[in-house]
Homo-oligomer: A and B are copies of this chain.
Amino acid sequence: MTERETNPDARLVIVSNRGSVTFSRNDSGEREHSRGAGGLVTALNALSRQRSEAVWIASAQSDEDVRVAKETSETGESHEVEGLRILLVEHDADAYDLMYNHLANPLLWLVQHGLYDLPYSPALGHETRRAWEEGYLPINENFAEAVAHLLESSSEGGEPIVLVHDYQLYMVPHFLRERLGKSAFVSLFVHIPWPEPEGWRILPGYIREGILKSLLEADIVAFHTKGYARSFIRTAHETLGAEVDEEEGVVKYEGREVWVRPYPISIDPNEFEELARSEEVLEQEETVKSLPGKLLLRVDRMDLSKNIIRGFHAYDRMLELHPEMKGEVTFLARLQPSRGDIPEYAKYAGVVEKTVQEVNQRHASESWEPIVLSMEDDFMLSVAAYKNYDVLLVNAVRDGMNLIAKEAVVANEKNGVLILSESAGAHEELGEHALTVNPFDIDEQADALYDALIMPDDERARRAKSLQETIRSNTIEEWAEAQLEDIAAYREWGD
């Protein structure tokens, strides 16, 4: 980062739907805040640290968030919390519901992960159009308005850099350009998979083209893997006829040049090392260590993309093929309830629980429960499990990255074996040292479970070491720096 370095005074604005803090009032009526957890928060914090003047814009979620949003919209100033400058945006509640629960989460999520049962769903129509026109578009415009307002209120510091994040905010680049023209650098980072062109074509014309055109108003469009970047480039070519260069990662459209680049997201290994040593985690380890036999672990949101059901079927099959393993292993499934208001998700959760009951009934003994289902929202318990697993199962149907694979490997102290779906984004980096599985193949997963459980210690150690080294060679700091380097290069190129 010598001569390509971007102007260190450039103002950095990060825009994402969820922020890193949520405000509330305590019993005495005083304002408090809690830090959000999760990979994106760690990642965007790392980006914020790159600039002292960075501001993070996010949706107001709680009632107190709304009050904070109202205050800052009056003063025009952001709110400083734990060294981060936060600006919360208040949305119309109905519009937000349409954006979040009717457009982004069912439709875009399911299309981008390829999870629809196409003979029957989706059934698009006027409801889709309404969610788009009265939900997705106004919420995105509201965000762009907040960015423009912030940048107008302080014009010092040169050309601003606006980093927009994820599938809730695809139209922000478009509304930003309407307000700011070319006076800002804009990137959009897609944190979920990008489907191949035919998958994208499921969307109605006004969405499929609207989103692509907005993304191509950004200067850089970023993904977690080379594969998603390539799929995006092909989609731009086949949907809009844009001129593309797959090798160079460039899309040319309406006179602009857009760079399409992979930046595999990562974690902060130090954070997990500290957590692993913390008192809360040490306490939770008692629970985890009391489970009989080796520890087989999965940690996931209860999501259609995570392949939870086939994971249990594979375990069932492994016990059927190797009955000597009964009682020698416990499958701890930490499943965080998610999106229960969406019918597809409610149905899925029901099938997951039924499958657990069936497998347990089939194999349980008096002293042994084959699958322990654990749905409490307790991150410390998850970290305690990370430390102690012998085998970690990440068999997602599709997954943007899957940061749990990285977190767990860094925290693990048992040379645990990683079983990894070839369709998780993390597979591009970690596949070489994991046991790779086809997420649709029950018997292949059953074999991988068995192989992992009986793997000799030296092979376990060798694989665990390589996984650790790979993750430590690309931490969240490198992720943030790589983006800012490319931004500097893009701006130099553009001059």
Report A's interface with B, CB cutoff 8 A: 114-120, 122-126, 128-129, 195-199, 201-202, 204-205, 304-305, 307, 309-310, 313, 317, 348, 351, 397, 422-423, 438, 440-444, 446
Contacts and interface: CB of A to CB of B under 8 A. Distances in A.
B197 A423 contact: no
A451 to B, nearest CB: 15
Given A197-B196, A198-B114, A204-B441, A397 B126 contact: no
A394 to B, nearest CB: 16
A68 to B, nearest CB: 38
B120 A317 contact: no
B196 A122 contact: no
Chain copies in the assembly? 2
Main secondary structure of the interface of A (DSSP, over half): loop
Contacts of A444: 124-125, 204-205
A318 B76 CA distance: 49
Contacts of A199: 196, 198
Closest 6 CB pairs of A and B: A117-B117, A196-B196, A125-B443, A125-B442, A119-B304, A124-B441
A125 B443 CA distance: 5
B196 A440 contact: no
B309 A397 contact: no
A199 B129 CA distance: 28
Contacts of A422: 201
Contact of A123 (B117, B122, B305, B310): B310
Contacts of A351: 120
B204 A438 contact: yes
Given A197-B196, A199-B196, A201-B422, A443 B126 contact: yes
Nearest to A314: B125
Contacts of A196: 196-199
B440 A129 contact: no
Contacts of A202: 438, 440
A438 B304 contact: no
Contacts of A309: 119-120
B442 A124 contact: yes
B204 A118 contact: no
B114 A118 contact: yes
A204 B448 CA distance: 14
A423 to B, nearest CB: 7
Contacts of A304: 119
Nearest to A351: B120
B310 A118 contact: no
Contact of A205 (B118, B310, B317, B438): B438
Nearest to A436: B205
A123 B438 contact: no
A310 B122 CA distance: 10
A441 B126 CA distance: 9
Contacts of A310: 123
Contacts of A305: 119
A119 B348 contact: yes
B423 A201 contact: yes
A305 B351 CA distance: 26
A124 B440 contact: yes
